[in-house]
Amino acid sequence: MRKFLSLRHSRLRGDDENDGESGFTLVELMVVIVIIGLLATIVAINVIPATDTARVEKAKADIATIEQALEQYRLDNLTYPAGTDGLPALISPPASLAQPQRYRRGGYIKKLPNDPWGRPYIYAVPGRKGAFDISSLGADGQPGGENENADIYSSEL
């Protein structure tokens, strides 16, 4: 009991044997904060471009899916949808269809996807290098551009 009181009394006076080892110094805390900041910066630098790349790859995959649906439409109806009918012709038969009985029940695609930036894909007949083109104007929604803003055309995939 006496030793306990002695320890308690010495701590109150501040002459503890572990003085200086009981916590972190301000410099140590600052070093840790700087290291965490550097790690967060490195992660951000590597993750943000991956998101842009993923969006471009998704657009390419969507375009490939739409191309397959257009090919099925052509096989059944002997022609691609007219430019005025556009991509909605893959969901329901267009009024201009010469032989509606040839149209596949349920359509050729369940739902037309928007590009990864929220805009509809563009259908052009004739295409730049073939019978049709499916395209996205990229992240900026404007013709031309580079990197994630570059236009994506089915004829260039």
Does residue 124 fall inside a structural domain? yes
pTM over 0.75: no
Spatial separation of the C-alpha atoms in residues 94 and 133, rounded to whole Å: 19
Task: Confirm if 145 and 138 have CB atoms less than 8 A apart.
Answer: yes
Torsion of CA 25, 30, 36, 39, to 10 degrees: -130
Domains: count for the chain: 1
Does residue 13 fall inside a structural domain? no
Q: In what side-by-side order are the strands of the sheet with 133-136?
A: 122-124, 133-136, 152-153
pLDDT digits (tens, 9 = 90+) for 81-116: 998 999 999 999 998 888 889 999 999 999 999 999
Kindly state the DSSP code that residue 120 receives in the 8-state scheme: B
Does residue 27 fall inside a structural domain? no
CA neighbor of 155 nearest in space, from 70, 30, 38? 70
Q: What pLDDT is stored for residue 154 in this prediction?
A: 92
CA neighbor of 110 nearest in space, from 90, 83, 80, 87? 90
pLDDT at 14 over 90: no
pLDDT at 50 over 70: yes
Q: How confident is the model at residue 137 (pLDDT cuts 50, 70, 90)?
A: very high
The residue range of the domain holding 92 is 52-157
Q: How confident is the model at residue 127 (pLDDT cuts 50, 70, 90)?
A: confident
Q: Which residue has the higher pLDDT, 157 or 26?
A: 26
pLDDT at 1 over 70: no
24: left (phi over 0), alpha (psi -120 to 50) or beta: beta
Does residue 151 fall inside a structural domain? yes
Does residue 2 fall inside a structural domain? no
Does residue 42 fall inside a structural domain? no
CATH number of the domain that residue 56 is part of: 3.30.700.10
Does residue 102 fall inside a structural domain? yes
pLDDT at 69 over 80: yes
Does residue 12 fall inside a structural domain? no
